[in-house]
Structure formats: structure tokens, C-alpha cells
Chains A and B, each alone.
Chain A
Amino acid sequence: MTKRRLRNLRESAVRAFFFTNGIVVILILIGIFILLLYSAVPAFREIHLKEFFTSASWDPTSPVKAEYGILSMIVSTLLVTLAALVIAVPIGLGVAAYLSDVAHWRVREIVKPVVEILAGIPSVVIGFLGIVLFGPAIGKIFGLGNGLNAANGGFLLAIMALPTIISISEDSLNTVPAAYSEASLALGGSRWQTLVRVKIPAALSGIIASVMLGLGRAIGETMTVLMATGNARAFPHGFLNSVRTMTSNIAIELGEVPYYTTHYYALFAIGLVLFIITFAVNLAADVVLKKYQEREQ
């Protein structure tokens, strides 16, 4: 009888231990959001929300009148992200389709780990190569003094988004039921027609999810854009302009800002905006992916 009670006691202790761990993790994760919110809100005692989002001039250290508009940073982030997607989506989808429908399985077994190597390269290394390798090349092609601009950043972010886009798109192409392509082939469609008109439409939600995850990564990437886009504060007018994204701006100014000033809080406000944008993008990707998996089952 006592042995049994001991056993029960131990069971509840173990359960309580794991439960506590679960709770701690959840509290930490909620805490991240709350603390961020808590540090961002004081910024708006002095800054109007409208100015924050619609003004393009950011000059917190101006001796005359400090200005806190993040519009040009938002546009910069969008420019770089757009450039990244324009490059990464067609190429990533092409590689995914090649791996799932054309390549010999041996090629696939070799290429997949190689693509994972690409995913493992730290962003600071990619940024470094943006300075020494890809930037100068872009500068030469377009006849610019240096290639530190939105196009360079977009190119580098494309490299970083590719592994995500390739692996998730390929997975979703592979889970299209075999009956779909068999039906298409039996009706006389070629493998190419089957791929383009049957498999890709059937796997579309997975492909969209992969693009959104790549998008989330591109928006939030810091080191690459910080090192390779020149960081000019001016409002950007094209892909060949130097840009300063939201992430770069935090990275540049957080090191020098005096603690607990409006400027300090404003940087956390930018962080909060980033948090919300990326969380929303990832959430949307997740919902799309879940819907698609449920339909497949």
C-alpha cells in the first residue's frame, strides 16, 4: 500500500515538474511581448502615432526639433523585401519543382543537404560577402560607385530566403496525391503540363506559405541589410538607392542612445512594429499551411 502511494507521489511530482517547465516557457514567451510593449509605449507620450507612421523624417538627435517618423524605414524594408521575393520566389519554386518532378532521386539526396548548408550560413557572413563580393559586382553592372543599395540587400536576402522556399514548396509538391498526376498523364498531358497545370495549383497553398515564411525572414533580417545596403537615411526612390531598414536603424542607434529617453523608447517602438508584422506574417503562413494539411488528410 505504501509502495503504491510512493509511486503515485512520484508520478505527481514528475508531472508537476514538467507542468512547471511548460508554464515557465509560456510565461517567458508572453513576457517578451509584454516587456516590449511596456518599453515601446512611453515613446508615444511625446510622439504622435500619426507622425510616427506617416512622417519620413527620422532625426531624433536634432538640436532644433527631434523628429520620429519611420515611413522611410518602412518603405526601405518593403523595397529590400520585394527585391528579395522577386528573385527568390521564381528560382526557389523552380528548384523545388525540379527536385520533386524532374531530378533523379540520387540528385535530390545530394542537393537537399547542400541547400541546408546554405540555410546554415550565418547572416553576418552573407552580409560580409555583400560588401566584398556581390556589392562590388552590382556596382560594376549598374555603373555605380559602390553597390551598397537595396538591390544588393534584396539579392542577399533572396539567398537567405531560398532554403525555406525550396524545402517547404518541395514538400508540398511531394504531398500532392499521386492520383492527380496519374489522371493528368493518362489523359495525354505531358509531365511539364502536369506539373504546371495540375501539381503546382494543387500545392499552391503550401507554396504560398513557403513564400510568406521567406517574407517573414527577409523583413526581420538585420545583419545582412545593415552591412550591405549603405544605411542612408533619405527616403529611397528605387532599388539602386541606399536604404536604411527598420532592423538596421535599431542596430545602428541602440548602441549609442542614452537609456530611458524618448529616442530609446522609440527604438523599442520600431521593434514592436517589427514584432507585430513578422508575427502576423508567420501566423498567416501557419494558417494557410494548416488548412492545406487538413485538406490533404
Chain B
Amino acid sequence: MSRTSTRKKKAAQFVGFLLLRTCLYLVLAVLFLLLFDVGKKGGGAISWEFLTQTPRRGMTEGGIFPAIFGTFLVTLVTAVLAIPLGMFAAIYLNEYARQTRTTRVIRLAIRNLSGVPSIVYGLFGVILFVNILKFGTSILSAGLTLGLLTLPWTITASEEALKTVPNSYREGSLALGATKWQSIRTNVLPYALPGMLTGTVLGLARAAGETAPIMFTGAAFYLPFLPKSLKDQFMALPYHLYVMATQHHDIAKVRPLAYGTALVLIAFVLGMNMTAVILRSKLRRKRK
């Protein structure tokens, strides 16, 4: 091979790799800019008062405690629906169901439902929970709507975790005379549980940050008091941010509060993500 062609090749590689690296820097720059902007301007709004008080004077002053509390509560309802139902369904699909064409189709459908737009789940929540079941616009309706949204993610993540347990674990236990449930309980679940929990908490974190599904099923523009029962409306961090950013009558004035809300929301969601990851590594270490 001639020297010039080698040189050309090297130059092409240099330029090519440089281009790829630029792509990475671009993405990191946008992420940095995003976090920096919210961190800087939101950090200024955060105070003890902001985190513990209710909004005052048409939401131009005061804090966002009702929104924090509401998001926490609605996530709890979501968890109550999505965690057991998702995990048990995954156990059925992976451990009990015969692997036929039907289960393959079901699995495919579940996976694809996780890509259905969240506003469509919101529409569904309006029909089923608000209208047909007459829960009204409430924490219950919003939580159940988010629960349905989370279900496909929970099932898929749990099944992935169950699949990583080698078949020999199940067979070894069965060969010693254990029943199916005994094998699952003692030889499968302990190994799969960290992965199942992580996937579930990640799903819950995503649900906690969702706005579209709760807009019409229970989230309120403004409430002067905390919800007393599951049938009450509630304030939520994501919806509050939407209101402060676009619906408020004096948007320029409440901008710092909107930034503060955005920062708290990001902290809430990323905090849950981090908890999931730490939980997984802790549980894994315990097993070893």
C-alpha cells in the first residue's frame, strides 16, 4: 500500500473520530447547560420556607409543600397498584405460564404498551376512574392512572430480572423434591428481587414526573389545604411547574418559583432513581 493512501486513511480516521467525539461533547454540553440553569436559578428560590409552606397571594409567594406532599401521596397509590400486580404478573409469565405463541404475543403487547403516549393513559383514566368508577378527579384516580402507565414497565423489568436466574437453580431445587413454589421462593426470588425492585422503582420515578396523565384525573391548579382523603384533589410538582410556567396570570413574577419547583422535581425523580440503583447494589452484596 502506498504511503499517501495510508496517510489519507489516517486523516479520515482522525476527522471521523473527532466528529464522534464532538457529538458526545454536544450532548454533555446540553445536559450540563440544562442542569446548570435549573440548579443555579432554582437554587436561589429554595429555602426552608419554600419547601414547607403553602403558596400564598395567588401563588406569587410562599412555598410548594402541598405539591411535594401530593406527588409523594400519588406515587404511593401508584406503587400500591403497580408493584404487586406487576411483580406477580411477571412471576406468572416467566415461571408458571407455558412458553407458547400466546405468551409471546402477550409479552409483545405488554412491551409495546410501555410506548403508548402518557396522555392516552390520561384519557383512559378519565373514562374509567373518573367517569365509570366515579372516583371523580382525585388522588385515587390519578394514582391508579399512573399505576396503569407504570405496569408495563414493571412487568418487563421484573421479567428481565427473573430471566437472569439460571435454570439450574430451579432444577436443582426441584430435583431435591421441592415443589414449584418452594423452588421459586427459595431459589429464584432471592436472586431476582434486587433487579425486580430496581426496575419497579425506576418505573415509579418516571411516573412521579409525569404530568399529562394527572392533568385531568386529579391534579389541581391550586389548593389552600392538604388533601384529607384519597377522594380529594391534590397539587403535584409536575403539574404545578406546568401551571407556573404557562398558566399563571403573572408568569414573569413567578419565574423564580417555577425554577425552584423544577429543581425540587428533578431532585425528587433523580433521588428515586439513585435509591433504586443503591438498593440494587446493597441487596446484591448481601446475597454474595
User: What is A's interface to B at a CB cutoff of 8 Å?
Assistant: 7, 10-11, 14-15, 17-19, 21-22, 24-26, 28-29, 31-32, 35-36, 39, 90-92, 94-95, 97-99, 102-103, 111, 114-118, 120-129, 131-133, 159, 162, 166, 188, 190-193, 195-196, 213, 216-217, 219-223, 227, 247, 250-251, 254-255, 259, 267-268, 271, 274-275, 278-279, 281-283, 286
Contacts and interface: CB of A to CB of B under 8 A. Distances in A.
Interface in B192-240: 205-206, 209-212, 215-216, 238-239
A181 to B, nearest CB: 14
Nearest to B13: A192
A190 B9 contact: yes
Contacts of B210: 122-123
Nearest to A223: B211
Given A25-B155, A122-B238, A286-B108, A98 B127 contact: no
Contact of B128 (A15, A35, A115, A227): A35
Given A22-B92, A129-B37, A254-B216, A39 B209 contact: no
Interface residues of B, number: 85
Given A98-B24, A220-B116, A36 B211 contact: no
B186 interface: no
Given A21-B91, A21-B92, A190-B13, 5 more contacts: A11-B181, A15-B96, A118-B27, A124-B211, A127-B242
B141 interface: no
Contact of A98 (B12, B21, B258): B21
14 contacts: A11-B179, A15-B96, A15-B180, A22-B96, A28-B151, A35-B124, A35-B128, A91-B26, A114-B28, A120-B209, A220-B116, A267-B123, A274-B117, A278-B116
A271 B116 CA distance: 10
Nearest to B31: A118
Contacts, number: 245
Nearest to B255: A132
A271 B127 CA distance: 12
Contact of A94 (B20, B31, B88, B92): B20
Q: Which 7 A-B pairs have the closest CB atoms?
A: A220-B117, A122-B209, A94-B23, A192-B13, A22-B92, A21-B88, A98-B20
B212 A259 contact: no
A128 B110 contact: no
A222 B239 CA distance: 13
Nearest to B32: A114
Contacts of B123: 36, 39, 250, 254, 267-268, 271
Contact of B270 (A11, A21, A120): A120
Given A220-B118, A227-B245, A286-B111, A192 B16 contact: yes
B124 A32 contact: yes
B67 interface: no
A190 B20 contact: no
A26 B115 contact: no
Interface stretch (B51-59, B161-169, B261-269, B279-287): B261-269
Contacts of B26: 91
Interface string B89-133: 101110111000000001011111101111111111011100100
A25 B151 contact: yes
Interface of B: 1, 9-10, 12-13, 16-17, 19-24, 26-28, 30-31, 33-35, 37-38, 84-86, 88-89, 91-93, 95-97, 106, 108-113, 115-124, 126-128, 131, 148, 151-152, 155, 179-181, 205-206, 209-212, 215-216, 238-239, 241-242, 245-246, 255, 258-259, 262, 265-266, 269-270, 273
A278 B245 contact: no
B266 A122 contact: yes
B96 A19 contact: yes
Task: Provide the main secondary structure of the chain A interface.
Answer: helix
B64 to A, nearest CB: 14
Contacts of A196: 16
Given A120-B269, A220-B119, A21 B9 contact: no
B209 A131 contact: no
A255 B215 contact: yes
B9 A25 contact: no
B205 A275 contact: no
Given A127-B245, A223-B211, A251 B119 contact: yes
A18 B96 contact: yes
Nearest to A280: B112
